Amino acid sequence: LAKTTQPVSMDSYEGQEVNITCSHNNIATNDYITWYQQFPSQGPRFIIQGYKTKVTNEVASLFIPADRKSSTLSLPRVSLSDTAVYYCLFPSGGGADGLTFGKGTHLIIQP
Amino acid sequence: DAGVIQSPRHEVTEMGQEVTLRCKPISGHNSLFWYRQTMMRGLELLIYFNNNVPIDDSGMPEDRFSAKMPNASFSTLKIQPSEPRDSAVYFCASSFELYYEQYFGPGTRLTVT
């Protein structure tokens, strides 16, 4: 079972850095970790994907420790438009469980 | 590419009627997924296809739900007969390969009265 654990919700303020951590204790050797963002009334949107250490793109950074049992999505200098639900997923060797989004983390950014 | 296309965007129907949702995946993508989202249950995977073949439909809630993918550029999700508890937003998504990043369509908001 590809089970992930994330905080249900988080609050922050504009201009702050936000870190959302996802635990995935049963990640398989070949699994990549993928993060999605979902705005109200839209489908989830791919943000970033990584296997180990650090990955950075124009939107976010992803930190994965050596044991790979967790990952942290880092959003630098957030704005009100970053208010959304954030999900982490990993394939877990295949099957429908690896495609299950879970509840995600509801991030609320305040002025 | 236009992205994943879903139709209709909104559907309002009466209980007992047949509902058909349509999806056109991104050209060249081999995998297609149908999800349902409600406030209570979140985002649920209903069924997914790989190379037009259904791989896992264990998420389909009842026999009233069926999905087909007759070719690489078209899929349907049918509910017959529809019930009020089927009211939700239904998303279609596609990916280049299974477990690659998914691209979601705009969704179909279904209301069954």
- For every residue of A48-105, DSSP letters joined together read EEESSEEEE-SS-EEEE-TT-SEEEEEESS--GGG-EEEEEE--TTSSGGGG---S-E
Which member of B42, B56, B93 has the closest CB to residue A96?
B56
Q: What is the mean pLDDT of residues A31-58?
A: 94
Considering only CB atoms, which chain B residues are within 8 Å of A49? 101
A45-57 mean pLDDT:
94
Q: How high is the pLDDT of residue B36?
A: 96
Nearest CB partner across the interface for B45, out of A36, A99, A104: A99
For residue B6, pLDDT beyond 90: yes
Across all residues in chain B, what is the average pLDDT? 95
Q: What is the mean pLDDT of chain A?
A: 91
Q: Which residues in chain B have Cβ-Cβ distances shorter than 8 Å to A43?
A: 91, 93, 104-107
Token pair, residue B98, equals: 């299974």
The residue in chain B having the minimum alpha-carbon distance to the alpha carbon of residue A88 is: B101
Tokens at residue B17, please?
Answer: 């009627």
pLDDT in tens, B58-98: 999 889 999 999 999 999 999 999 999 999 999 999 999 98
Mean pLDDT of B35-64: 94
**pLDDT reported for residue A1:** 53
Q: Which residues of A fall below an 8 Å CB-CB distance to B?
A: 32, 34, 36, 38, 41-46, 49, 87, 91, 94-96, 98-104
- With CA atoms as reference, report the closest residue to A29 among A96, A93, A100: A93
Q: Which of A42, A99, A103 sits opposite B42 (nearest CB)?
A: A103
Residue of A nearest to B5 (CA): A43
Q: Which has more pLDDT, A97 or A105? A: A105
A44·B102 Cβ contact <8 A: yes
